[in-house]
Amino acid sequence: MSLTARQHAADIAEYLNMGTRNALSLGNRGPIRFTEEGGLEPEIVEAYGRCGFYVFTGVVLEEELEDLRAEISDALDRAPTTNKSTVDKHGNPALGSDLTIQPFLLGKPLGDPVGGTGRNAGRHPIKMNVPEPEGDAPDQVVQIIFGTLHILDACLRLYGHPKLLQVAEAINGPDFTPFNEAVFVKQPGLGASVAWHQDPTTHWESPEWDEGTHGFNFMAQLYGCTAANGVWVVPGTHRQGKVDINELTEGHGSERIPAAVPMICDPGDVVMCNRQAVHGSFANTSPDWRVSVGFGFHRRSSIVGADAKLLNGDVVHYDEQRVNERSRMIAIGIDARQQRFPDEVPYQYQPLAGQEDRNRFNEANRHAVVRNYNLRDLHI
Ligand SMILES: O=C(O)CCC(=O)C(=O)O
């Protein structure tokens, strides 16, 4: 018999407390700091390398947080009512229903759509605990919004954030490339689990494989996150190659991995999380919202020429032209940001230096380049 949401919250409370204590003792949090040469401060590089994630505090300021919250709350209001529907709850065309890839993924409240199934290339072997929501819950709730840069201008502007792009350069080199973008939504008492997994599918067996091969994701927190609603990571697993996730949970009588720790964030904090780290999140039986704006970056050498395995099993070859075209979203994000925050010094993205006029955020490019840009995502 499944637990009710209230029972689940009580049952998991001690694990959440222990995880929080452990997370706060790791030494992997603080403001973004660069050296005089423009690299990341060595303590940050060390802590990110040791843990597989780093919490950058106070990155997104209130004015920008308000833009992001307003746009995402409007998007949730305009989401389709089911995964198959093209209309929202008001009977209007759902946001982005005219795009090639439908932006919204909905699921059962507090559910686990992928754990213990073969979905997503079988990368989520463990089924998470699925509590019953309290009261009058909807049948379906939005879990993920994909392709954020063509439907949410505030996300496009965040994508051009100069300090975050400088971090991407410090970790992946100045010729870094995009990955993809998604917003994860965990409504209070309704948000579904994301079962334990490592993101990558492509280069595990490569002779050149190392801890940075599959890049990282930024996760910007609009409302902060707690042990109850945030992403958990098993520190150090990004250095271990493909991990047997069953082994991490075996013998513990539940899906609660003892060595895992939660990301603990205030609003405006941005987590950098290695895609190779084992991570996941539990059903959100807490009273708090979590909305994470996610966007990732790769080393160019991991992408150009790769035969990438996608989550649906397809294999796609990434040639230089696709990578260059997809990378234009970085330049367009920088310009979109400059229009909103003209006093900020913009990041200079070296692969497209000198092409600024071609990569303005204007109506022509909104149609020709931004719309359906995610058909060229660079998943590995
Ligand atoms: O936000 C979450 O709950 C999960 C995020 C995640 O698994 C990812 O970005 O790969």
Rounded-to-integer distance, Cα 195 and Cα 245, Å: 10
Tell me the best of 128, 183, 186, 219 to mutate to test the pocket of ligand 1, counting ligand atoms within 8 Å of each CB and taking the most: 219
Atom in ligand 1 nearest the alpha carbon of residue 186? 3
pLDDT score of 254 more than 90: no
pLDDT digits (tens, 9 = 90+) for 345-356: 999 999 999 999
pLDDT digits (tens, 9 = 90+) for 162-213: 999 999 999 999 999 999 999 999 999 999 999 999 999 999 999 999 999 9
Tens digits of per-residue pLDDT, 265-306? Answer: 999 999 999 999 999 999 999 999 999 999 999 999 999 999
What is the distance in A from the centroid of ligand 1 to the CA of 157?
Answer: 21
* Residues with C-beta less than 6 Å from any ligand 1 atom: 184, 194, 199, 217, 231, 279, 281, 292, 294
pTM exceeding 0.95: yes
pLDDT of residue 311: 94
The mean pLDDT value for 111-119 works out to 93
C-alpha of 52 from chain center: 14
The ligand 1 atom at the shortest distance from the C-alpha of residue 292 is 1
Question: What pLDDT is attached to residue 1?
Answer: 72
How many whole angstroms from 6 Cα to the centroid of ligand 1?
Answer: 24
Cα–ligand 1 centroid distance for 300 (angstroms): 23
CA of 360 to the centre of ligand 1 (A): 31
| In the predicted structure, residue 252 carries a pLDDT above the cut 80 | no
Task: Give 136's pLDDT tier (boundaries 50, 70, 90).
Answer: very high
Q: Where are the beta strands (DSSP E) in the chain?
A: 29-30, 53-56, 104-107, 141-146, 177-186, 194-197, 216-221, 232-233, 261-262, 270-274, 279-281, 290-298, 307-309, 315-317
42: CA distance to ligand 1 center in Å?
Answer: 27
Ordered by where they begin, the domains of the chain are: 5-376 (2.60.120.620)
What integer is the mean pLDDT of 248-260? 87
How far apart are the C-alpha atoms of 25 and 10, rounded to whole Å? Answer: 24
